[in-house]
Amino acid sequence: MNSELTERFLKYVSFDTQSSEENEAQCPSTEKQFALAEYLRDELKALGLTEVEMDEHGYVYATLPANTDKQVPTIGFIAHMDTSPDCSGADIKPRIIKNYDGSDIVLCKEENIVTTVSQFPELKQHIGEDLIVTDGHTLLGADDKAGIAEIVTAMTYLMAHPEIKHGKIRVAFNPDEEIGAGAHLFNVEKFGCEWAYTMDGSEVGELEYENFNAASAKIHIKGCNVHPGYAKGKMKNACIIASEFAALMPENERPETTDGYMGFFHLTGMSGTVEEAQLSYIIRDHNSGIFQLRKQVVLDIAEKLNAKYGQDTVTTEVKDQYYNMLSQLQDKPQVTDIAKKAIEEACGFCNVVPIRGGTDGAQLSFKGLPCPNIFAGGLNFHGRHEFVPIQSMEKAMMTVVNICRMAAPPQPSQKERG
């Protein structure tokens, strides 16, 4: 078990870095993300990396210099510092279950918070491994502090093994990925890579280079409040209209009813009074044509309700967030081929899967930095049942090392040099 990797991960999860959708206009969206950014900046300097800097928005960049004179492409590795707004990331209390035996995991006995094998059958794939779990009151933060730990530890591994020849390696850690803004202020030109990889995937051995096209939809409903005793023909209850809007959305196209390449509408928030109400949706689809149709569904429902309750009762704001990176990678097979070989060497297999979500790599690919997504090892992200096998993190760390080696041309043998 790589104690350096594990200890580094446990240190990172001690920082509360939860981002906020309510503060999208500022970056980072929460001031507390700066604490981890500053720690990483100082750690990278202490480890001996060069060109270490943190910009005014909390983006951290650093370099592992090349140790070969060969012409080698500069490549990069990226992970995000923030954790999801969906679950608390404060005062995380991780626990290591060594040699997991395949049984249900009691996270908090007093409150009967249990990660059951029946609900989370992926646990069966990790029997005999060492799992890091929560105490049932917060998320863990493996998304994506596992990725950060794997990248940093891979850099220290390469420094300790100079016989592994590699080109210039750039690393970057950014805020606000969980609210879809992690790549917005990422300085691709400064990063200076021909291509990169985000270490932000899930299950061990996975490689992702197809992701959802994504949009957010904010629906605002304006009601009219009147004393309920005299409301006949006058009151418009915004909460009732909001419920009607939700009921009109396709019921079999939700996250809980879809998988694989199937898209969905996901109601992420609902609040209101008689006077006004709000609904928040995220819209996802791998197919760009169907993605456009999904956005139109929201607009059509709003139009239908305005015809029923009066114009301007329902207003909508639909905003694109990111697009499917596949279109940016199809003509660059070496980027994914190297990743596949590196994963196969570290894990014994490589499982190429579509991302049922998003990653900073999608936006970065459209900004000119081809950027597939590699597994970081964590599972059940964004909730109290999140866990990560230490062995999966070790394989992800070695995948980074393998990529750095494979991106460099073979060194000449002694006979060839002689």
From residue 185, alpha-carbon distances to 191, 198, 221 in Å are 12, 16, 32
Q: For residue 46, how many other CB atoms are within 10 A of its CB?
A: 9
Instruction: Kindly state the tokens that stand for 368.
Output: 């000119």
Q: How far apart are CA 221 and CA 21, in angstroms?
A: 20
Pair 206, 357: CB distance under 8 Å: no
Which one is catalytic: 176, 177, 208, 360?
177
Instruction: Kindly state the tokens that stand for 256.
Output: 């809980």
Instruction: Kindly state the tokens that stand for 158.
Output: 């390469």
Q: Within a 13 Å sphere around the CA of 264, how many CA atoms are in the beta-carbon half?
A: 18
Strands (E), 246-343: 264-272, 276-285, 314-322
Q: What does the DSSP 8-state code read for residue 356?
A: S
82 is catalytic: yes
Q: How far apart are CA 204 and CA 377, in angstroms?
A: 5
Angle (CA) 165-390-349 rounded to 5° is 60
Q: Which residue from 95, 104, 106, 102 is spatially nearest to 134, judged by alpha carbons?
A: 95
68 CB-contact burial (10 Å; exposed 0-12 / middle 13-18 / buried 19+): middle
Q: Which residue from 229, 177, 216, 223 is spatially nearest to 358, judged by alpha carbons?
A: 177
Give the amino acid at 205: G
Phi, psi of 144 (to 5 degrees): -135, 35
285 is catalytic: no
Q: How far apart are CA 77 and CA 402, in angstroms?
A: 13
Which one is catalytic: 16, 82, 129, 143?
82
Q: How many residues are given for the chain? A: 418
From residue 60, alpha-carbon distances to 34, 66, 301, 389, 399 in Å are 10, 20, 43, 26, 22
Catalytic residues: 82, 177
